[in-house]
Amino acid sequence: MALRTLDSLGSLSGKRVIVRCDLNVPLRDGVITDDGRVRASLPTLKALADAGARVIVCSHLGRPDGAPDPQYSLEPVAQRLSELLTVPVAFATDTVGDSARDTVAGLGDGEIAVLENLRFNPGETSKDDATREAFAAELAELGDALVSDGFGVVHRKQASVYDLADLLPSAAGLLIAAELDVLDRLTENPQRPYTVVLGGSKVSDKLGVISHLLPRVDRLLIGGGMLFTFLAAEGHAVASSLLEKDQLETVRGYIAEAKERGVELVLPTDVVVASGFAADADHETVAADAIEQSSFGASGIGLDIGPDTAAVFAQAVRESKTVFWNGPMGVFEFPAFAAGTKAVAQALTEVDGLGVVGGGDSAAAVRQLGFSDDQFGHISTGGGASLEFLEGKKLPGLTVLGWE
């Protein structure tokens, strides 16, 4: 069965339509620093409002502990949505409580409301099926149909992503459909050379994808936080850099498998090491096998790939016909450690073929570094989700929408 799309829901005029978006934007002091995910949600929301639906937007934001936490409120996101749509957007101060019910009851046809952060409720991410289903049932009471459009969360078996889709007539929104179009091009006969660039900080999450990528790709470039686990696996000391000690054996296995398969696994040859994790930390470039010999000794932290590595990575990216990049090469939020990420981003804009950026922070990084969305083949709103898709996994949030 194919993915159910919006038209499968029939006429939505006057109906209450819950839209599960991924509005998990980066915030600093309550201000949205990258509104890419809000913008990506607009086509579906506009289409539903134009169809006369009463649009009820829900999302998670950050990782609150299953209870209200003002720093993770979706209110600034509702405001941004209102600015971008140039229509008023109502906001409910809870997710399934009195405020949500009143707000939904007050919606006219074609009007839009945002519910407070789904993860203020322990049921959203609970591992216990009954707890999750109970929360999904509360959500279901607010709507007549569900449009699932939070591509960044389709790999999660969570109440609003998975359980709710079984309780209401449900379909995928336009963003999910568009994301899957591009991911299909990456999995079905990608043009070669096919290069994947991995970085970022969710090291153990991302290490797992490597074994599935090795049979499919020609080159794998490793930067970001995970590079240190690779360097350590090769026997180099990494001082106080991010390191997943319990993954060393696994990583050695990947290095061996890459060799066997003839996949070029490219590790950094130089690294920018800092005195601490701070924007103004002292820093210097050292060889990747001499991190502990920097002036900071055992307290040094690797925060970016070095310039030689950046040049090698950029060249490898430029020479490829298909590139998927997930995870910044360094702590790009600090300008002193953004050069590696910038070099890879620049190279990606020069790819003669399909260049895809995936991941919330990676997307934020390219925009923050001054690139515009249309310089890339595609900017995916989902990092983990797109990686799991490329691994060939069945994603629960897509399976419930009829995807096989």
Among 291, 314, 331, 343, binds ligand ADP (CB under 6 A): 331
Does 22 bind Mg ion (CB under 5 A)? Our answer is: no
Residues designated as active site: 37, 202, 360, 384
Residue 32 carries which side chain, given as an amino acid letter? I
Contact string (CB under 6 A) for ligand ADP, positions 19-58, x = contact: ----------------------------------------
**Cα separation of 328 and 373, whole Å?**
16
- Minimum CB distance to ligand ADP smaller for 254 or for 324: 324
Nearest in space to 127 (alpha carbons), one of 164, 163, 157: 157
**Cα separation of 133 and 160, whole Å?**
9
Among 200, 268, 377, 396, binds ligand ADP (CB under 6 A): 200
Residues 374-403 contacting ligand ADP, CB under 6 A: 383
Residues 285-304 contacting ligand ADP, CB under 6 A: 302-303
Among 199, 330, 360, 377, binds Mg ion (CB under 5 A): 360
Closest approach, Cβ 327 to ligand ADP, in A, equals: 4
Closest approach, Cβ 333 to Mg ion, in A, equals: 12
- Minimum CB distance to ligand ADP smaller for 117 or for 326: 326
340 binds, among ligand ADP, Mg ion, none (CB under 5 to 8 A by kind): none
- Minimum CB distance to ligand ADP smaller for 48 or for 175: 175
Strand 270-274 to strand 301-305: parallel, antiparallel, or no bridges (unpaired)? antiparallel
Q: For 164, list phi and psi in degrees, rounded to 5.
A: -60, -30
Nearest in space to 146 (alpha carbons), one of 167, 124, 170, 164: 170
Closest approach, Cβ 252 to ligand ADP, in A, equals: 20
Residue 21 CB partners (closer than 8 Å, separation 6+):
37, 41, 44, 45, 57, 58, 59, 149, 150
Does 225 bind ligand ADP (CB under 6 A)? Our answer is: yes
Angle, CA 87 vertex, CA 91 and CA 83 arms, to 5°: 80
With CB under 5 A as the contact rule, which of the stretches 82-90, 143-151, 162-170, 352-360 interacts with Mg ion? 352-360
Closest approach, Cβ 242 to ligand ADP, in A, equals: 5
Reduce the DSSP state of residue 266 to 3 states and report it: strand
Exposure string over 219-256, b if 16+ CB within 10 A, otherwise e: bbbbbbbbbbbbbbbeebebbbbbbbeebbebbeebee
40 binds, among Mg ion, ligand ADP, none (CB under 5 to 8 A by kind): none
Closest approach, Cβ 145 to ligand ADP, in A, equals: 30
**Cα separation of 307 and 274, whole Å?**
15
**Cα separation of 38 and 25, whole Å?**
8
# residues near ligand ADP by CB under 6 A: 20
With CB under 6 A as the contact rule, which of the stretches 4-12, 122-130, 280-288, 324-332 interacts with ligand ADP? 324-332
> Measuring CA to CA, how many Å separate 301 from each of 197, 225, 283, 352?
21, 10, 9, 35
Total Cβ atoms within 10 A of residue 108: 8
Closest approach, Cβ 225 to ligand ADP, in A, equals: 4
Closest approach, Cβ 3 to ligand ADP, in A, equals: 23
Among 24, 41, 158, 362, binds ligand ADP (CB under 6 A): 362
What DSSP string runs through 28-80? Answer: ETTEES--HHHHHHHHHHHHHHHTT-EEEEE---S---SS--GGG-SHHHHHH
Does 94 bind ligand ADP (CB under 6 A)? Our answer is: no
**Cα separation of 363 and 376, whole Å?**
10
Residues near ligand ADP, by CB under 6 A? 199-202, 224-225, 242, 302-303, 326-328, 330-331, 333, 359-362, 383
Residues that bind Mg ion (CB under 5 A): 360-361
